[in-house]
Structure 1
Amino acid sequence: MKALFVNGSPRKNWNTHKMLESAMEGAAEAGAVPDLAHLYDSAFKGCVSCFACKVRNGRTEGLCAFRDALTPTLEKAREADVIVVGSPVYFGYPTASARAFLERLMYPLLAYKVGEMRLLAKTVPTAMIYTMNCPEKLADQLDYPLLLGANADALERTFGYSETLCAYDTYQFSDYSRYDVPMFNEKDKARQREEQFPRDLRNARELGKRLVRKAAPQD
């Protein structure tokens, strides 16, 4: 069983990447072969509206026809039994790279049919993992559940199942004294990272396990 994990963060070995690594460990424990792609390692575009994937009797088979540096990752996603996308939250949304990936991933699998918009026959469990500097209470006030939930809704319509996991109030800088951010208390942030982030990592690990088990054939 193949499980693809996609890092939509420009940073490696930081919050989003670590959450994805933990989810990968859980997926591996459940029997999957995890693979990780870093979107910021490649230069690519979002959907270019070529509509090749919507041509009658076309041969794209649910894969974006526009070829660029993202194509190998999209090909892996097309073969995956589980797909997890991780991204930090910028102004209430995933990064531009994560959003571009989602466009290219989902649009070729969208069917413009009356009463049925899902082209994919099998269910592929998916998830979005978000990390954010924003505390949970403030995120609720800013309608983040609604804004970010739209991506899970789209993934569920496309692949049949999706979950969302958020890590709030994350440690943003390795040295807060270097930055002009007086609204943040470094000691509070460090405490949050020491006490809460390990729980977030455990939640990510369980998510990885759960998605793989959901993808496994039922006896």
Structure 2
Amino acid sequence: MILYPAIDLKDGQAVRLLRGDMDKVTVFNDDPAAQARAFVEAGCEWLHLVDLNGAFAGAPVNAAAVEAILAACDVPAQLGGGIRDMATIETWLSKGLARVILGTVAVENPDLVREAARAFPGQVAVGIDARNGMVATKGWAEETNVDATDLARSFEDAGVAAIIYTDINRDGAMQGPNVAATAALARAVSIPVIASGGVSSVADLIALRDCGATLDGAISGRALYDGAIDLQQALAALRG
């Protein structure tokens, strides 16, 4: 199981939000590229990037920070936030991103997800962000009546590389991931699932790895910044 260190970008800085609230922000590093290098030097195999401003704006906002990270690091990176048309997808992949994450557009324009997955095999993931099992979009600001598992199943034949499943109520709260819901989703689809939201200890990572369903990976942010998870120790534990 891959551990994806998260770098959430707001106004050019690496931050973490509490449960997706843009007013409840903690700045951890004003040099996101330096933060990315630190994660890579600790041994991470992937980076998970989020353009928080972009998620609300519906278009890339922190492009300079993302490009600086890509220039500074030699591990693959995936990015979500504000990617809602084919031109943006093509631009990001041409700049060296390994994978784009489509969230809001997966609800509003699922045909674009299918088109992109066909055009860029292995490079398009779907981000499913759920509050109490129902999908939220536009930076988690808008609730929908779409069930998270139903949305995941709708892309079974689309060729998407992964589903990033975030339990919004757990995100940034340091209360542990929703292991049961993540495992249930992973069992419901054949698409690789990456867990996100609330991963706050090595024990949480082990619980996800041993949840009874095969997970592709887990994303952690605040716990790595706060020191609750030592990245090198976590990577060694997952390998063990």
TM-score (norm 2): 0.33
Greater RCO, CA 8 A, separation 6+ = 1
Higher strand share: 2
Which structure's residues are more often helix, by fraction? 1
The normalised TM-score by structure 1 is 0.35
Larger radius of gyration: 1
